[in-house]
Amino acid sequence: MLVGLAGLTLLAGCEPGPPRVKKPVDTVGKFPAADRPVAHIVSSRWSTEEARDRLNEASEVMDKSGIKPGMTVADIGAGEGYYTIRLAQRVGKDGRVLAEDIVAGVRDALAERVARERLDNVSVRLGEADNPKLPDNSFDRILMVHMYHEIAEPYEFLWRMRASLRPGGEVVVVDAKRRTQDHGTPPSLLKCEFAAVGYTLVEMHDMPSAGGYLAVFRAAGSRPEPEAIKPCVTVSSPPPATSAAAG
């Protein structure tokens, strides 16, 4: 009960007034299916926080993402809160962080951590697999770190997420250069799926400290109608050739 009250208090502090999230009922069933496997959620953490800090991961990602004091940032797939905690420190008392996860138990544990560490500029929210449920016109940056390959309905997810960006806002994706079923996203596939929903690639960097690469996107032009989205077609890699064992 205390955790729940703390979470509600934090949410109220970050987002006053009635919720502004809109989920049009007439879009149900109109989004194309993704032509790729989806990785299962296996853990709420990618690595230990100590190991990630030794590599200066969060600082490097935030620097390349242009995250500054006073910004409002969403941490999608926040897990145990590695980025949430560090984002809260970076944006400062005049900034805001919304941490979202789709697993209720993970969300509750993170809300407890946020309350315990007295992070007054952080709110915690439960999202849905096909909808991050973010308030419209609210975010300077949206971070998606090592979770994009777990999104089963990327076109609907990205379509609903677009409205939450402020003018000039950017989406930052960190992932590994692996197949989606191997817990990564090939950069070409990532660019294609974002482009299908009206995002343009701003920049891309290798990110060894985070185990892969960092890509930055902005919304461009009008958001397409769901039925007008053209899905990306992936080409399956042939199985590796087998060789005779050495005698």
Tokens read off for 119: 């992070």
- Identify the CATH number of the domain in which residue 65 sits: 3.40.50.150
Number of domains the chain is built from: 1
Tokens read off for 160: 């609903």
**181 part of a folded domain:** yes
| Structural domain of 211 | 49-228
What SS3 state is found at 126? strand
Tokens read off for 73: 């940032």
**94 part of a folded domain:** yes
Report DSSP state, residue 44. Answer: S
**195 part of a folded domain:** yes
**139 part of a folded domain:** yes
Task: Name the pTM for this structure.
Answer: 0.82
The model's pLDDT over 152-184, given as tens digits with 9 standing for 90+, comes to: 999 999 999 999 999 999 999 999 999 999 999
Which residues in 189-216 are b (16+ Cβ under 10 Å) and which e?
bbbebbebbbbeeeeeeebebbbbbbbb
**12 part of a folded domain:** no
Q: State the pairing for strand pair 165-175/212-219.
A: antiparallel
Instruction: Please identify which residue in the block is written with the tokens 């920049």.
Output: 203
**198 part of a folded domain:** yes
Nearest-angstrom CA–CA distance, 105 and 72: 25
**240 part of a folded domain:** no
Report DSSP state, residue 38. Answer: -
The model's pLDDT over 52-103, given as tens digits with 9 standing for 90+, comes to: 989 899 999 999 999 999 999 999 999 999 999 999 999 999 999 999 999 9
